[in-house]
Each structure stands twice: as structure tokens, then as C-alpha cells.
Structure 1
Amino acid sequence: MKILKAMYFLTLALALMVYACNPPAKKESKSSKAANKVLRYSSITGLKSEKMAYYKKLHAAAWHGVLKKITECNIHNYSIYLKEIEGKLYLFSYFEYTGTDFAADMKKMAADTTTQRWWKETAPIQIPLPDAAAKGETWSPMEEVFHHD
């Protein structure tokens, strides 16, 4: 009888541990699912080869105010990659957006004076692709053709 009682309490303790580590998923409303949706953005631009070292140095010590504004504007998991193709340098950026109004967040970022000063440092050393240059922009958006979570 003592063995059965001990096994019962052991089983109960294991069940509680499993529950504590893996509580049942809460049902989410449609609005909370929409609010948690992650949108992925990527873009590309060129980089002046003689400015590559400066660009890397600048981003190795990115300004706190710029990083803070990026986060405030619901941008996460932001990366920029560098690739040389046929003797030309290209930058590829990727980030995830978790907000609900991308246009408003981008306006908020563009209005930030620290971010404006950052862009005055980075824009002149980048080489916009023709589609971006035609619109007076630096980065060209890229189409996502595959994603796997």
C-alpha cells in the first residue's frame, strides 16, 4: 500500500511539473493574433567600396538613439548583410515588424532628429539601385519568395 501511495504522489508530482513547464495554450482572439503578426521586410542597396570600412565601423557602434527609435517603431531582428557581386558591393537588410501601422511607424522614425543625422552619415556612402534612385530613395524593397518557420 505504501508503494502505491508513493507512486501516486510521484505521478502527481510529475504531472504538475509537466503542466508547469508546458501550460495549456490560451485561446487567442482574432484581434490578438493580428496584433502579434510578424511582417518581414528586406531590401537592397549598393555600397561605395572605398567607404566599406567606414560603414562597418559606423554599424559596429550604432548610435543608441537610432537603436532605441528602431525598437520604438516596432522593428525587431534587424540585420544588414554585405555581399560583393562582380566587383560591386551590395547591402541586404532584413527586419521583422510587429506593429499595427507600418506607415505611421516609418513616419515617426523619419521625424526623429537622431535618425535623420544617422541617415545623413549612411545615405551618401550607399549607391541606390535604379528603382530606388528614381523615387529618391536609398533602399530597394525585395520580394519574399520563400519563408519557413
Structure 2
Amino acid sequence: MPKSLEDWEESGLLEGILSIMSAFSHELFETIPEVKYVGLLTRNGIHVFSKSKSQELKDRILKSQDSSEAIIAFMLSIIKLENVFNENILYVTLRIGEKYKMYMKSLHGAFWIMIITEGPHSEGLLMYVLDELASRLEREIL
């Protein structure tokens, strides 16, 4: 199994992961209305699948001051604590402003899968959804 992001990219597995995540995100948007975004966080950036077709709305949420600060703070912690990308830390939850919450799960220490929600929701259900996405990726790609 590839260990670094570069290994994942070179192996072609990253493209497969993004393809599965795209299909999974569409299923998720239909079944859990509070889920607004599904994404993959790597050391090189964030790949985001949006419920909204509007790029303007997507940009407003992901580039808002609150979102930027939360994501930047998390990325800085990654730089300071390289071990955030190892398998010992499985879940991270971040509040983004007043309305949004981000749930993340480590995937084999190489990157994080994430869900961004708006409004009230069941945290247990969202953790289950992250586990289901991770299981699907492991079954079909890994």
C-alpha cells in the first residue's frame, strides 16, 4: 500500500478514490440533507464535492473568514504535528462559524476524508457515514 501522497498519486489510486468519493457524495446529498460538502484533505490541498451547483455558494462557504481560519489552523497543526497524518488519530471535528461543522477521518495516514454539515444532525450518524465511506474506499481501491 502506498505510504506518501506522492506514492498514491503515482499509483493512480488517488483518481480512483476521488471517483468513488464523487459517487458516494451524490448518494449522501440525497439521503442526508444537512450534508453540504464531502471532501478529501491531503497535504497538498482539498478536493471538495458540493451539494450546491452554485460555485458562488461553494466559494462563499469554503473561503469565508471562519472556514479559512478553521482550515488554516488545522493545516498549521498538521505542519507542526506531522503525526496528525498517521493512523493513530482517527477522527477530528471542527466547528466552522455558527452554522457549519466539519467531520474528518484519517484514511491510512495518507489523507483525510471529510464531511461538512449545516444545521442540526446526528454526530453518531455522520461518524458512521465516514466509516462507511472509508470501508467502501478500502474495499474498492485498497
Fold match by TM threshold 0.5: no
Q: Which has the larger radius of gyration?
A: 1
Task: Name the TM-score, length of structure 2 as normaliser.
Answer: 0.31
